[in-house]
Amino acid sequence: MTNPLLDTSALPRFADLAPEHAEPALRKLIAEHRQKLATLLDNPDTTNFDSLVTRLEEMDHELCRVWSPVGHLQSVLGDPGWRDAYNTCLPLLTAHGTELSQNSKLQQAFERISASMPSDATPASRAVVNNALRDFRLAGVALSAEKKEQFREAKQQLAITQALFDQNVQDSTDAWHTQVDDEHVLAGLPTSVLDRAKMDAAEHKHGGWRLTLDYPTYHAVITHADDRELRKTFYRAWTTRASNHAENAKWDNSDNIEKILSLRHQLAQLVGFDNYADYSLATKMASSTDEVLEFLSDLVDRTRCGAEAELEALQKIAVEPLEAWDTSYYLEKLKCERYSVSDEMLRRYFPAERVQEGLFDLANQLYGVTLRVVESVAGWHETVQYFEVHDNEDALIGGFYIDLYARSGKRSGAWIDECIVRKNLAGEKIEPVGYLVCNFPPPDKDGISLLTHVDVITLFHEFGHMLHHLLTRVDYPSVAGMNGVPWDAVELPSQFMENFAWSYEVLKKTSGHVETGEPLPKDIFERLLESRKCGAALAMFRQLEFALFDFRIHADYEPDQGARTLEVLRLVREDVALIRHPEFNRFPMSFSHIFAGGYAAGYYSYKWAEVLAADAFSAFEENGLFDAKTAARFREEILEIGGSRDIMDAFVAFRGREPQLDALLRHSGIGEAA
């Protein structure tokens, strides 16, 4: 029987896929590709772009299509079989990628192709070749055989350890719960959270309420629970996940962090960089570690006054000296006091299905695309839906799966990932497909999930990423969609999209009261908009703390001193954290963005790209939120180009100038506070 993973004729056959398909499929495909490449390199015509580069693009596209369901399913299903399959295959895939990047014969062929490219070569084809030559260098193609082997081994071990880090965080999160039998302890919590906790307790044959550590529950407790001890309990559980201070320390990530930072430093030095931060910047917009640190320090200076004022306002309404588990709670109280808005009141206006419909209407209004659910496409869970995306002439652009709700075994957070990347080569055109994943409160007994406005912003953010993936016009997969885009610019489309969630014209169509269907009233929106700046400086300070911590542990790493993770975090917090963190806080042990994701020495990218996004959105504020010409320019200059063009040149082409910081500070009210 044919392995269903190897069937790339259509969408993944999720109903037919099983973990045991993964390793045989990857081994077979890698072996075939290895043989195809050897044949290509033996051909004297390898200096021809189409005979080599295009074939490599097609092979990589095929491999990514086979690997994508494996990586995806181990993130969204609590099936240990998929995790085992992923862990088995990851070293194979990593070794194959490094083998290609260290292939001297292949690199020399690319050098010849680069030298012979015609003057009228497309920007996309030039980007493919230039990126490949850069990646050859970053993978150590010029190293001795011995050092190449060291690089390969380090790369493989790094991939394995990063995966283990992420899985430890998930296991530690899923394993924790607390049983509450006294209803008074739960005062302040939303009814939806209490209903789920009561159902969960009953399923485990208990009375009372069983509260777990999924993000919707954690966020509800830390924001709404009147019982301070309950907030502290959840704060401790959340900030000690995957550490030696967790209730179960078997998932402690301390040693994994030491190994990850050591391996990254080793990789960077092998190919001639002083540290991993320098190595990381070789593929980013920022040109140096000094530029990044100056950018972050400037934001710290501009934000400090506002953050201190916000903290003082919180302390005035608190009944005790503020601790880390109090700030979200009193910030919610402050918003209620000053603006008469609360998460619980707003939630009634944002049923998930209505928000989704309004978001899709916005995409249609901006870019002329239509989204249609396709009931016949099977997903991996009963709540997953598949949507096709069509242009204004009803031609298919692509599609995406959407998986909105939290459940046990599913990785926390929100993200999009590639299922299929756009390809239009050798007479075959493949449309892009993606996965959009969130962790919103699961539907209640009536099938309704109510979102906070923060959840709405999250959905807009991820959908911005999805539009970037879907609307690309680039034909080469390696620079289509988000591929080839510098990591510190990849958040531009997503953070840009967030701004629309602060527009009344948008929210009027994206809201509908759960009982009456009435859209969000204008007076409530006005109060919500006023509350946007409440806590913005403290939130900025928190992100700057994370960014500085990430950058410094990579830029300042010394092998003889080790990771010094908690020491570096303490030093950063002394400078930029206004809230005292308790000694037990072990936040780094669950910081998957940098220790398991793509943000190593790159967490600053969120703020860097936010400057670009706020400035880009200001063009819509100036010309009209739904101005067709502005939307068309943004689509053409930013969303469609993938990694085929220098992103600063693209931004200037859209905005008419280089980005400025003013819009970000204005949106957050930080400039006013300063």
pLDDT (tens digit per residue) in 55-67: 999 999 999 999 9
Per the CB < 8 A criterion, the answer to whether 359 and 463 are in contact is yes
Per the CB < 8 A criterion, the answer to whether 441 and 406 are in contact is yes
Comparing CA positions, the residue from 580, 571, 535, 536 lying closest to residue 551 is: 571
Per DSSP (E only), the strands in 374-519 are 385-390, 396-405, 415-420, 423-425, 428-430, 433-440
Q: 398 phi and psi, to 5 degrees? A: 170, -160
Report pLDDT for 484.
Answer: 97
Query: Given pLDDT bands bounded at 50, 70 and 90, which one contains residue 330?
Result: very high
Q: How far is it, in rounded angstroms, from Cα 508 to Cα 345?
A: 16
Comparing CA positions, the residue from 595, 599, 590 lying closest to residue 239 is: 590
Q: What is the chain's mean pLDDT, rounded?
A: 96
606-623 confidence digits (pLDDT tens): 999 999 999 999 999 999
Tokens 């990694």, residue located: 643
Query: Given pLDDT bands bounded at 50, 70 and 90, which one contains residue 672?
Result: low
Q: Which two tokens stand for residue 639?
A: 């969303």
Q: How far is it, in rounded angstroms, from Cα 390 to Cα 388?
A: 7
Residue 60, SS3? helix
Integer CA distances (angstroms), 595 to 168, 181, 235, 462, 588, in order: 12, 37, 21, 21, 9
Tell me what percent of the chain is helix, strand and coil, each rounded to the nearest 5.
60, 10, 30
CA atoms within 13 A on the CB side of 255: 6
Determine how many CB atoms are found less than 10 A away from the CB of residue 122: 14
- 23 alpha-carbon distance from chain centroid: 27
For residue 629, what are the contacts with CB-CB under 8 A and spacing of at least 6? 623
Amino acid type, 376: S
Q: Which two tokens stand for residue 672?
A: 């006013």
How many helices (H) and strands (E) would you count in the chain?
28, 9
Q: Is 558 left (phi over 0), alpha (psi -120 to 50) or beta?
A: beta
Q: 63: burial class by Cβ within 10 Å (0-12, 13-18, 19+)? A: buried
598-607 confidence digits (pLDDT tens): 999 999 999 9
Q: DSSP assignment, residue 450?
A: B
Longest dimension (CA), the chain: 79
Per the CB < 8 A criterion, the answer to whether 300 and 541 are in contact is yes
Q: Kindly report the length of the chain.
A: 674
The per-residue DSSP string of 155-177 comes to HHHHHHHHHHHHHHHHHHHHH-E
Q: How far is it, in rounded angstroms, from Cα 114 to Cα 127?
A: 10
Q: How far is it, in rounded angstroms, from Cα 497 to Cα 625?
A: 12
Q: Which two tokens stand for residue 566?
A: 């908690």
Q: How far is it, in rounded angstroms, from Cα 618 to Cα 604?
A: 22
Residue 68 pLDDT > 90: yes
Q: Which two tokens stand for residue 508?
A: 């009027």
Q: Where are the domains of the chain?
A: 4-101+103-138, 176-251
Domain 4-101+103-138 sits in CATH 1.20.1050.40: yes
Q: Is the torsion defined by CA of 12, 495, 517, 505 positive or negative?
A: negative
14-47 confidence digits (pLDDT tens): 999 999 999 999 999 999 999 999 999 998 776 7
208-243 confidence digits (pLDDT tens): 999 999 999 999 999 999 999 999 999 999 999 999
Q: Which two tokens stand for residue 538?
A: 């403290």
Instruction: Give the catalytic positions in this structure.
Output: 462
Per the CB < 8 A criterion, the answer to whether 589 and 251 are in contact is no
149-182 confidence digits (pLDDT tens): 999 999 999 999 999 999 999 999 999 999 999 9
Q: 118: burial class by Cβ within 10 Å (0-12, 13-18, 19+)? A: exposed
Integer CA distances (angstroms), 133 to 400, 462, 644, in order: 32, 31, 15
For residue 213, what are the contacts with CB-CB under 8 A and spacing of at least 6? 173, 174, 176, 177, 234, 237, 238, 241
Q: DSSP assignment, residue 80?
A: H
Report pLDDT for 212.
Answer: 97
Residue 591, SS3? coil
Report pLDDT for 499.
Answer: 97
Residue 263 pLDDT > 70: yes
Mean pLDDT confidence for 542-552: 97
Q: How far is it, in rounded angstroms, from Cα 449 to Cα 442?
A: 6
- How many degrees, rounded to 5, is the angle at CA 253 between CA 249 and CA 256? 140
Radius of gyration of the chain (CA): 25
Query: Given pLDDT bands bounded at 50, 70 and 90, which one contains residue 674?
Result: very low
Report pLDDT for 552.
Answer: 98
Per the CB < 8 A criterion, the answer to whether 346 and 528 are in contact is yes
615-656 confidence digits (pLDDT tens): 999 999 999 999 999 999 999 999 999 999 999 999 999 999
366-397 confidence digits (pLDDT tens): 999 999 999 999 999 999 999 999 999 999 99
Q: How far is it, in rounded angstroms, from Cα 126 to Cα 641?
A: 13
Residue 245 pLDDT > 50: yes
Per the CB < 8 A criterion, the answer to whether 73 and 17 are in contact is yes
Report pLDDT for 673.
Answer: 44
- How many degrees, rounded to 5, is the angle at CA 428 between CA 426 and CA 433? 130
Per DSSP (E only), the strands in 323-413 are 370-373, 385-390, 396-405
The per-residue DSSP string of 296-323 comes to HHHHHHHHHHHHHHHHHHHHHH-SS---
Q: How far is it, in rounded angstroms, from Cα 654 to Cα 216?
A: 38
Q: Is the torsion defined by CA of 364, 349, 230, 582 positive or negative?
A: positive
Per the CB < 8 A criterion, the answer to whether 412 and 418 are in contact is no
Q: How far is it, in rounded angstroms, from Cα 524 to Cα 528?
A: 6
Mean pLDDT confidence for 445-463: 96
Buried b or exposed e, range 342-373, using 16+ CB within 10 angstroms: bbbebbbbbbbebbbebbbebbebbbebbbee
Per DSSP (E only), the strands in 391-498 are 396-405, 415-420, 423-425, 428-430, 433-440
